[in-house]
């Protein structure tokens, strides 16, 4: 079967065509598909600025600039992967628990068929829907979270479902294995010393921004690979991991963060990671006048696709779903 791939940009200029992610075909099928990009345009989980519902549209638009060959990992994405833009999950603005169910419903159609979903957020609350879908196919997964926040608070305003409580809910629902999971990049003012301790008490490994700076990027990537081992992994990238100088368009910015180069370098150090899903979240176009946040988010997705392509190139096996379909189907 032919792979799904974008049109040749040397024949059809990159600014032409309908703005799907990387100008990929918008197809709602799992047949012959390795990876599906899915918009999660939901922002009712945000506790500060809102507007991330327009994140997927902005990331797709910025992604038209991307080219197929990754020169550092030396891999052409579309030689190894068949990728579609699946469109958006049908969320219900204002209704978080219903929206999480809808996201899980759409994404589990993909995960149960062995298709790797890549979510475009949306505020970070969407992660719970994604993890429900991924865990339905693989059991509890390793969570790799790039974020300036742990998102492990118990409740906001007396409510349990927000973008700041999503990781605690995921642990409670048994969707992730804390002993295989790691949070990277934590910084900024918090409510009290217990905030980060609470994440550790859940069993998660935390690497604060200061620790990342102290041990260096290569060591961080190695720590992540060691922590995950060969367990199915979900990579969740909150764009506020980056400094607001590089990613101003986000809901809860924290200064003293990472450069674009540092973030991309960390991701490039993760070759071999057994990824079964990924997202990039908290992109808020209204605060992103030059579009640099959306462009960076598109490139984060691109790094994830390159990791998946490199894994195939290197002959590493597909991560089997619990349904354990035969290799190659």
27 is written with which tokens? 């197809």
Q: Judged by CB under 5 A, does residue 123 bind Mn ion?
A: no
- Closest listed residue to residue 304, CA positions, set 263, 327, 275, 326: 275
134 is written with which tokens? 């991924």
DSSP state letters, 42-65: --TT-SS---GGGHHHHHHHHHTT
Residue 122: cis peptide before it, omega within 30 degrees of 0: yes
For residue 231, the cross-strand partners are none
Compute CA distances 24 → 55, 107, 302, whole Å: 18, 18, 13
Q: Judged by CB under 5 A, does residue 151 bind Mn ion?
A: yes
Closest to Mn ion by CB, 99 vs 148, is 148
Q: Least distance from C-beta 244 to Mn ion, angstroms?
A: 12
Closest to Mn ion by CB, 70 vs 132, is 132
Size of the site for Mn ion (CB under 5 A): 7
Stretch near Mn ion under the rule CB under 5 A, chosen from 107-115, 172-180, 231-239, 301-309: 231-239
Closest to Mn ion by CB, 84 vs 283, is 283
Contacts 24+ apart (CB under 8 A), 16-21: 17/64, 19/57, 19/60, 19/61, 19/63, 19/64, 20/60, 20/85, 21/59, 21/60, 21/63, 21/85, 21/120, 21/298, 21/301
Q: Least distance from C-beta 253 to Mn ion, angstroms?
A: 9
Closest to Mn ion by CB, 255 vs 322, is 255
Q: Judged by CB under 5 A, does residue 240 bind Mn ion?
A: yes
Stretch near Mn ion under the rule CB under 5 A, chosen from 9-17, 141-149, 153-161, 285-293: 141-149
Closest to Mn ion by CB, 292 vs 320, is 292
Q: Judged by CB under 5 A, does residue 147 bind Mn ion?
A: yes
Among 70, 124, 169, 311, the residue binding Mn ion under the rule CB under 5 A is 124
Q: Least distance from C-beta 223 to Mn ion, angstroms?
A: 20
Within 13 A of 329's CA, how many CA atoms are on the CB side? 9
Q: Least distance from C-beta 40 to Mn ion, angstroms?
A: 13
Question: What is the binding site for Mn ion (CB under 5 A)?
Answer: 124, 147-149, 151, 238, 240
């Amino acid at each position: 079967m032919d792979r799904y791939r974008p049109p040749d940009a040397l024949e059809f200029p990159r600014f032409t065509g309908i703005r799907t992610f990387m100008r990929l075909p918008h197809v709602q099928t799992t047949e012959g598909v390795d990876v599906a990009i899915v918009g999660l345009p939901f922002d009712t989980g945000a506790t500060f600025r809102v507007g991330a519902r327009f994140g997927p549209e902005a990331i797709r638009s910025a992604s038209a600039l991307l080219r197929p060959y990754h020169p550092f990992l030396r891999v052409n994405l579309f030689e190894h992967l068949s990728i579609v833009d699946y469109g958006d999950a049908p969320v219900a603005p204002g209704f978080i628990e219903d929206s999480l169910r809808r996201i899980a419903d759409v994404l589990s159609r993909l995960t149960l068929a062995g298709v790797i979903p890549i979510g475009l957020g949306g505020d970070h609350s969407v992660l719970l829907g994604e993890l429900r879908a991924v865990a339905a196919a693989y059991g509890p997964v390793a969570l790799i979270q790039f974020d300036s926040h742990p998102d492990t608070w118990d409740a906001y305003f007396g409510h349990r479902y927000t973008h700041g409580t999503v990781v605690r809910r995921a642990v409670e629902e048994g969707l992730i294995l804390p002993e295989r999971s790691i949070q990277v990049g934590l910084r900024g003012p918090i409510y009290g010393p217990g905030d980060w301790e609470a994440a550790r008490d859940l069993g998660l490994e935390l690497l604060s921004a200061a620790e990342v700076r102290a041990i260096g990027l290569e060591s961080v990537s190695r720590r992540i690979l060691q922590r995950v081992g060969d367990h199915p992994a979900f990579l969740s990238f909150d764009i506020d991991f980056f400094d607001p100088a590089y990613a101003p368009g986000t809901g809860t910015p924290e200064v003293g963060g990472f450069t674009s180069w540092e973030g991309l370098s960390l991701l490039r150090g993760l070759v071999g990671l057994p990824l079964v899903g990924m997202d990039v979240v908290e992109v808020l176009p209204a605060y992103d006048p030059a579009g640099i946040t959306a462009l960076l988010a598109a490139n984060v997705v691109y790094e994830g696709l390159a990791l998946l392509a490199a894994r195939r190139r290197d002959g590493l096996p597909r991560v089997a779903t619990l349904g354990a379909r035969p290799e190659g189907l």
